[in-house]
């Protein structure tokens, strides 16, 4: 296993330990069970990794970053639970397991998603290794990235786009909100945890935007040309759902070049910082992934 893959895996374990600690410190009600089920359902934990690595890049410690990393992962999880609901994508399975509403029922899944948002803010507030200023900035940044200015708006655009052919600008706008916002905020939360300045915040934002966009381009390529075996999920869903993708506008070769270009731009934004190798390796790992 490559160095960066190992680091990502190690960080996923750390994040899961911290998430588990959060739930262990609360009651064991059905609602918490439902929240925990989806939060602990695996995944690469790329967003928490970004929070921790950007905090390290700016000289901050893991303790300062982890509560923000967990908060963000809870918001990511809420979005997956609500996205899977019958009125949204109506998905029965996620990461090889039954979706939240398939296990707990639709109303409990709705409430588990809702409650995870509040737990995210509670978790961010529990950060004892940062300044009050950092926490206020974290809450504000998380709220803006997740709600009607960010991810929720992205999901709304996605719904409105169903069955429509999007222009290229519209496709970029969709992804910038739907998936880009949370990846950008991950990088920024790391800077906020470390008490970094505005220049660092801007660099993190540029890195997050580039990596997020490349991620989506690769997603589109893998959905068309990947293997179900490697991906662990059916391919061809974009074509089946008549979705506009990057491959609606360019060949797979051009799409790969485009993804490489935005990845390079992402890396350039942080290459001036010492010890930026890990984040550069991560960007390239995500660019070259097969699943």
- Binding positions for a copy of itself, rule: CB under 8 A: 26, 29-32, 35, 78, 82, 85-88, 106-108, 110-111, 113-119, 121-122, 125, 132-133, 135-136, 139-140, 142-144, 146-150, 152-153, 155-156, 159-160
Which ranges of the chain does DSSP label H, i.e. alpha helix? 3-24, 30-39, 46-57, 62-84, 100-104, 106-125, 132-146, 151-161, 168-175, 181-194, 198-225, 228-231, 237-240, 252-270, 277-287
**C-alpha–C-alpha distance, residues 140 and 149, integer Å:** 12
Q: Which one, 7 or 175, has the nearer CB to a copy of itself?
A: 175
Phi and psi at residue 288, in whole multiples of 5°?
Answer: -100, 10
Whichever of 7 and 177 has its CB closer to a copy of itself, that residue is 177
Shortest distance (Å) from residue 212 CB to a copy of itself: 19
By beta-carbon proximity to a copy of itself, the closer residue of 4 and 109 is 109
List Cβ neighbours of 236 (8 Å cut-off, separation of 6 or more).
223, 224
Give me the least distance between CB of 34 and a copy of itself, in Å please.
9
Helices 62-84, 3-24: crossing angle, 10 deg rounding: 80
On whether the CB atoms of residues 189 and 205 are closer than 8 A, the answer is no
- In this complex, which beta carbon is closest to a copy of itself, that of residue 100 or of residue 263? 100
**Between residues 47 and 135, which has the closer beta carbon with respect to a copy of itself?**
135
| Contact yes or no for 89/225 (Cβ under 8 A) | no
Supply the minimum distance, in Å, between the C-beta of residue 180 and a copy of itself.
16
CA–CA gap between residue 236 and residue 26 (Å, rounded)? 41
Please state the closest distance from residue 244 (CB atom) to a copy of itself, in A: 19
In whole angstroms, the minimum distance from the beta carbon of 197 to a copy of itself comes to: 19
Min dist CB 153 to a copy of itself, Å, is 6
Cβ closest to a copy of itself, residue 32 vs residue 249: 32
Nearer to a copy of itself, 141 or 278 (CB): 141
Closest approach of a copy of itself to the CB of residue 200, in Å: 21
Output 117 or 283, the one with its CB closest to a copy of itself: 117
Q: How do beta strands 97-98 and 93-94 pair? A: antiparallel
| φ, ψ of residue 98 in degrees (nearest 5) | -60, 140
Give the CA dihedral 94, 100, 103, 106, nearest 10 degrees.
-130
Query: Angle 62-84/132-146 helices, nearest 10 degrees?
Result: 20
Minimum CB separation of residue 146 from a copy of itself in Å reads 5
């Amino acid at each position: 296993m490559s160095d960066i893959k190992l680091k990502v895996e190690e960080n996923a374990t750390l994040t899961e330990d911290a998430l588990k600690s959060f739930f262990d410190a609360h009651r064991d009600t059905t609602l918490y069970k439902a929240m925990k089920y989806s939060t602990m359902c695996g995944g690469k934990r790329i967003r928490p990794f970004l929070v921790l690595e950007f905090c390290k890049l700016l000289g901050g410690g893991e303790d300062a970053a982890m509560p923000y990393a967990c908060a963000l992962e809870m918001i990511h999880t809420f979005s997956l639970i609500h996205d899977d609901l019958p009125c949204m994508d109506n998905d029965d399975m996620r990461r090889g397991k039954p979706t939240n509403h398939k296990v707990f029922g639709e109303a409990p899944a709705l409430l588990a998603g809702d409650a995870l948002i509040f737990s995210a803010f509670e978790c961010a507030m529990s950060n004892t290794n940062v300044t009050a200023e950092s926490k206020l900035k974290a809450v504000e940044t998380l709220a803006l990235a997740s709600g009607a200015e960010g991810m929720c708006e992205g999901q709304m655009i996605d719904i409105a786009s169903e069955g429509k052919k999007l222009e290229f600008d519209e496709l970029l706008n969709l992804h910038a909100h739907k998936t880009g916002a949370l990846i950008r905020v991950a990088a920024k939360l790391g800077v906020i945890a470390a008490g970094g300045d505005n220049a660092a915040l801007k660099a993190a934002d540029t890195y997050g935007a580039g990596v997020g966009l490349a991620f989506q381009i690769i997603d589109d390529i893998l959905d068309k040309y990947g293997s179900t075996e490697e991906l662990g999920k059916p391919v061809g869903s974009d074509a089946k759902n008549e979705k506009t993708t990057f491959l609606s506008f360019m060949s797979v070769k051009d799409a790969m070049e485009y993804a490489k270009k935005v990845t390079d731009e992402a890396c350039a934004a942080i290459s001036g910082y010492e010890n930026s190798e890990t984040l550069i390796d991560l960007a390239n790992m995500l660019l070259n992934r097969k699943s």
